[in-house]
Chains A and B, each alone.
Chain A
Amino acid sequence: MNGLIGKKVGMTSVFDGNGRNVACTVIEMGPCVVTQVKTEESDGYSALQLGFGEAKEKNTTRPELGHFAKAKTTPKQRVVEFRDFDAVEKAVGDLVNVDEIFEEGDYVSAIGTSKGKGFQGVVKRHGFKGVNDATHGQHNRQRAPGSIGAASYPAKVFKGMRMAGRDGGRRVKTTNLEVVKIFPEQNIILVKGAVPGHKGGFVILEK
């Protein structure tokens, strides 16, 4: 899987060639530094480990500092491994730019951490319908989960029963996003549609 790490800048809209207004997400993509090259012989599988975003030295552990020193680079905030990275041949310490991986018109997947929603009920969290009746004897039930199981048999609530709780703030992958435009000098990429996460959040684009 070829890909890069970046930072979500925000959303805007641009007009395409047909005069259609297209909603886009602007992402600052790379340049990522190669921190490790894994090969079939040494590690049992082939992969490229990339780093992105400047981290403070005091917030980086000693082993990590050594790892980055090996690649002759500064500490990075995010380190991600891409298996079977075959778009470009890179050695440890090399930079990978956005235009080396992606092209305009490509379809990519975006992985990010979704916005945290806090403690949410089942209607928002799991898409339950609630009881869509305010009358016919209903009271305080419009967004209720309903039954969570039978009674004396099985005499328990099954594990994984969908209930209210913390929502958002988890890893989300959005697939089939079209690359609208790439600005290689500015390391900016525009993808059609929305990307998980808040502005300034880290995003992984995979091709």
Chain B
Amino acid sequence: MDAIKFVHDQMTNQPEFPEFRAGDNIVVSYKIIEGDKERIQDFRGDVIQIKGSGSTKTFTVRKMSSGVGVERIFPLVSPNIVGIKVLKYGKVRRKRLFYLRDLVGKKARIKERKFTSKK
């Protein structure tokens, strides 16, 4: 598998995004090309899955859009992603939060991870 890793290293430039985990609330800004026009759109939601490795690593963001759950899968090294901002760090007990799909309303909330400085 070394050759594939080599290809990953050569063909992709590792993006410098802030670290995030499953359960975090993030905003993904990505380019949309319409004909010859280009604009940037934001997608805000909870990360429910991070999978893969190297240049095939992807993450799934889920949001509720007017009562309908919407999920989008982004490749992490996609050149169309302009930026990622982490808004909230979530406190979850697993890496894949598919149980959120069955929950609605207040139950679908994710507890926030609080950072306390050690003294």
- Separation of A186 and B77 alpha carbons in the complex (Å): 23
The contact of B55 among A12, A28, A181, A186, by CB within 8 Å, is: A12
Decide yes or no: A19 and B12 within 8 Å by CB, A9-B3, A12-B55 being known contacts: no
Q: Is the CB of B78 within 8 A of A15?
A: yes
Chain A residues near B75: list those with CB within 8 A.
Answer: 15, 21
Q: Is the CB of B6 within 8 A of A186?
A: yes
Q: Is the CB of B3 within 8 A of A14?
A: no
Q: Is the CB of B10 within 8 A of A183?
A: yes
Chain A residues near B10: list those with CB within 8 A.
Answer: 183
Q: Is the CB of A10 within 8 A of B56?
A: no
Decide yes or no: A190 and B7 within 8 Å by CB, A12-B55, A13-B56, A19-B31 being known contacts: yes
- Separation of A13 and B79 alpha carbons in the complex (Å): 13
The contact of A13 among B6, B31, B55, B80, by CB within 8 Å, is: B55
Chain B residues near A9: list those with CB within 8 A.
Answer: 1, 3-4
Chain A residues near B54: list those with CB within 8 A.
Answer: 12
Question: Interface extent on B, as a size class?
Answer: 10 to 19
Q: In this assembly, does A108 line the interface, its C-beta being within 8 Å of a C-beta of chain B?
A: no
Q: In this assembly, does B11 line the interface, its C-beta being within 8 Å of a C-beta of chain A?
A: yes
Q: In this assembly, does A111 line the interface, its C-beta being within 8 Å of a C-beta of chain B?
A: no
Supplied contacts A15-B78, A26-B7, 4 more A-B pairs, CB within 8 Å: A13-B56, A15-B55, A26-B4, A181-B11
Chain B residues near A190: list those with CB within 8 A.
Answer: 7
Q: In this assembly, does A96 line the interface, its C-beta being within 8 Å of a C-beta of chain B?
A: no
Chain B residues near A13: list those with CB within 8 A.
Answer: 55-56
- Separation of A14 and B8 alpha carbons in the complex (Å): 8
Q: Is the CB of A12 within 8 A of B56?
A: yes
Q: In this assembly, does A122 line the interface, its C-beta being within 8 Å of a C-beta of chain B?
A: no
For chain A, the count of residues having a C-beta within 8 Å of the partner chain is 15
- Separation of A40 and B22 alpha carbons in the complex (Å): 67
Q: In this assembly, does A188 line the interface, its C-beta being within 8 Å of a C-beta of chain B?
A: yes
Rounded to whole Å, the gap between the CB of A151 and the closest CB of chain B is 56
Q: Is the CB of B3 within 8 A of A188?
A: yes
Chain A residues near B31: list those with CB within 8 A.
Answer: 19
Chain A residues near B6: list those with CB within 8 A.
Answer: 183, 186, 188
Q: Is the CB of B78 within 8 A of A12?
A: no
- Separation of A188 and B5 alpha carbons in the complex (Å): 12
- Separation of A12 and B10 alpha carbons in the complex (Å): 13
Q: Is the CB of B78 within 8 A of A21?
A: yes
Q: Is the CB of B77 within 8 A of A12?
A: no
Chain B residues near A19: list those with CB within 8 A.
Answer: 31, 33, 78-80
Within 8 A of B (CB), among A1-18: 9-10, 12-15
- 10 inter-chain pairs at a CB distance below 8 angstroms, sorted by A residue, are A10-B4, A12-B54, A13-B55, A14-B11, A15-B75, A15-B79, A19-B31, A19-B78, A28-B3, A183-B6
- Separation of A19 and B7 alpha carbons in the complex (Å): 17
Chain B residues near A186: list those with CB within 8 A.
Answer: 3, 6
Q: Is the CB of A26 within 8 A of B12?
A: no
